[in-house]
């Protein structure tokens, strides 16, 4: 079967009309086989370029804290009621059959809500076809997956098609169709054209749900949310203004579902850091180590900017770009961002697949105006690269390890090799006798 898939991919483009039709038929069959389980749940879909996974986890936590039973599917984790486990598939969105199977399991577990991360691939390939969404939210839109979609305009239209489709989906008794939109985003006007029973908008500068004052710290964020007829303070154990945007998205979603400001504040107060998203690692070392999934230009810029603002020493950035022909055009752009915002750069691999690993690094280095050895290191092996970054780190520095977050594998050649940046950091520090056991 895998050999057949490889042959098909070699000769049939992912955007081939017959292949896309096949995906839709497959999704229809999956929905029928599992009895259209989404009709028995309130389904929340969150799309966008950055922040989907964090926002899904925030929404699930807030709903659970308000005593709802919740199911969830994201890039990093799955959940059915009280059971949660890691997503080890290295797929942000799952096949239509797996998704429908999960939804049916949520129904059997008597879940009230399903919270789903909705990617552009899932939309294009109809993996979410047959799922009756009640809430559609978008976090932000910037360049991503352009090698797949062909252009930013096509990528934008794909994301927008999810929002535009919700109002026409089968309506459940007494359940409104809701859109949640980022009013600060450059694409807001385009997204705001679509209809729904109710719309909620959010932002720092614009929208019906806004931030009124915020403070950023190395380990948390404090801010005040202004919503219609309510104002409440939040202290969040997540770092940076980007996560405040995620919190605003989550707030708008749960407000649409009837949660009170008191419930939302209480939920945020009990929320812990999310795995692989601006995740701090402290094993007794005298410097900060942060692991994050940042793999787009926008996400990498935000990551570096946030930690530049709270780091007294140097920022040391370890990152690479995905291989397999994915988004080659962004490689020098990512390099330019690192050159501008990181004191030390360590280029390494990040899911190279079958591409030449050193060539990927050289593609990134095109955007970097430094010579190797002048605050720039090129180390193909990711473990060795992380080890080097930890070796040169001094007290009050911050080591940023970007690109993989809490992913459990790394794709090298045709193999998925077990991997976890966080475990690698611990192993290195244990060997150096730094870890506090």
Query: With 70 as the cut, is the pLDDT of residue 150 above it?
Result: no
When mean pLDDT is compared across 15-24, 317-326, 396-405, the lowest value belongs to 15-24
Q: Average pLDDT over the chain, rounded to whole?
A: 91
pLDDT: is 17 or 199 the higher one?
Answer: 199
Place of tokens 């809490």: 406
Q: Which residues contact 135 (CB under 8 A, 6 or more apart)?
A: 42, 43, 44, 45, 166, 177, 178, 179, 180, 253, 256, 257
The confidence score (pLDDT) of residue 216 equals 86
Q: Which of 17-21, 118-122, 329-333, 334-338 has the lowest mean pLDDT?
A: 17-21
- For residue 33, pLDDT over 70 is answered with yes
How many residues belong to the chain? 437
**What confidence score (pLDDT) does residue 239 get?**
83
- The predicted-structure confidence for 41-51, as pLDDT tens digits, reads as follows 999 999 998 89
pLDDT at residue number 437? 47
CB hemisphere CA count around 118 (13 angstroms): 29
10: pLDDT strictly greater than 60: no
Question: Looking at domain 2-269, what is its CATH homologous superfamily?
Answer: Mur-like, catalytic domain (3.40.1190.10)
pLDDT of residue 2: 53
Q: Which of 64-68, 142-146, 266-270, 354-358 has the lowest mean pLDDT?
A: 142-146
On the question of pLDDT at 115 being above 60, the answer is yes
Could you tell me if 219 and 306 are in contact, meaning their C-beta atoms sit under 8 angstroms apart?
A: no
Q: What is residue 151's predicted lDDT score, i.e. its pLDDT?
A: 77
Q: Residue 1: which pLDDT band, with cuts at 50, 70 and 90?
A: very low
pLDDT tens-digit map of 264-312: 999 999 998 888 988 989 999 999 999 999 998 989 999 999 999 889 9
pLDDT of residue 326: 77
Q: Which CATH superfamily is domain 279-431 in?
A: Mur ligase, C-terminal domain (3.90.190.20)
% of the chain at pLDDT higher than 70: 93
Query: Which phi and psi angles does 360 have, rounded to 5°?
Result: -60, -45
Looking at 237-241, 256-260, 324-328, 378-382, which range is the least confident one?
324-328
Tell me which residue of 111, 137, 93 sits closest to 37, measured CA to CA.
Answer: 111
What's the pLDDT at 129? 93
pLDDT of residue 229: 86
The tens digit of pLDDT for each residue in 194-250 reads: 999 999 999 999 999 999 999 988 778 999 999 998 999 999 988 888 899 999 999
| Average pLDDT of the segment spanning 152-169 | 89
The domain ranges of the chain are 2-269, 279-431
Percent of the chain with pLDDT over 90: 74
Mean pLDDT of all residues in 68-74: 98
CA nearest neighbour of 276 among 101, 388, 425: 425
**pLDDT, tens only, 410-436:** 999 989 999 999 999 999 999 886 665
Q: Give pLDDT, residue 91.
A: 80
Cβ-proximal residues to 282 (8 Å cutoff; 6+ apart), any chain = 288, 289
């Amino acid at each position: 079967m895998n050999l057949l898939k490889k042959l098909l991919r070699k000769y049939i483009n992912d955007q081939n009309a017959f292949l896309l039709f096949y995906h839709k038929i497959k999704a229809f069959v999956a929905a029928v086989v599992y009895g259209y389980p989404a009709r028995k749940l309130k389904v929340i879909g969150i799309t966008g370029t950055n922040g989907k996974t964090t926002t899904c986890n925030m929404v699930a936590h807030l709903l659970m804290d308000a005593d709802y039973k919740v199911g969830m599917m994201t890039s990093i984790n799955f959940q059915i009621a009280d059971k949660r486990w890691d997503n080890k598939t290295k797929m942000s969105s799952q096949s239509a059959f797996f998704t429908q199977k999960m939804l049916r399991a949520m129904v059997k577990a008597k879940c009230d809500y399903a919270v789903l991360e909705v990617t552009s691939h899932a939309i294009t390939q109809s993996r979410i076809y047959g799922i009756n969404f009640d809430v559609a939210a978008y976090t932000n839109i910037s360049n991503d997956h352009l090698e797949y979609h062909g252009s930013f305009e096509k990528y934008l239209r794909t994301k927008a098609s999810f929002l535009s489709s919700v109002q026409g989906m089968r309506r459940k008794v007494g359940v409104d169709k809701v859109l949640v939109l980022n009013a600060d985003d450059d694409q807001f006007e385009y997204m705001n054209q679509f209809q729904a029973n109710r719309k909620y908008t959010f932002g720092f500068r614009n929208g019906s749900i806004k931030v009124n004052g915020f403070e950023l710290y190395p380990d948390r964020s404090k801010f005040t949310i202004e919503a219609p007829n309510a104002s409440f303070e939040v202290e969040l154990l997540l770092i940076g203004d980007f996560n405040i945007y995620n919190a605003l998205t989550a707030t708008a979603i749960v407000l649409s579902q009837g949660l009170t400001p008191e419930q939302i504040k209480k939920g945020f107060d009990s929320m812990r850091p999310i795995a692989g998203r601006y995740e701090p690692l402290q094993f007794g070392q005298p410097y900060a180590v942060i692991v994050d999934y940042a793999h787009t230009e926008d996400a990498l810029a935000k990551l570096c900017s946030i930690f530049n603002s709270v780091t007294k020493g140097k920022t040391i950035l370890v990152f690479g770009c995905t291989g397999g022909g994915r988004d080659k055009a962004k490689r020098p752009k990512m390099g330019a961002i690192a050159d501008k915002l990181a004191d030390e750069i360590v280029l390494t691999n990040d899911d190279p697949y079958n591409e030449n690993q050193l060539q990927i690094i050289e593609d990134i280095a095109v955007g970097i105006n430094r010579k190797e050895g002048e605050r720039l290191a090129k180390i193909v092996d990711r473990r060795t690269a992380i080890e080097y970054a930890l070796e040169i780190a001094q007290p009050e520095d911050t080591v940023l390890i970007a690109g993989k977050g809490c992913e459990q594998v790394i794709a090298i050649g045709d193999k998925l090799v077990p991997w976890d940046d966080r475990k690698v950091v611990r192993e290195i520090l244990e060997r150096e006798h730094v870890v506090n056991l």
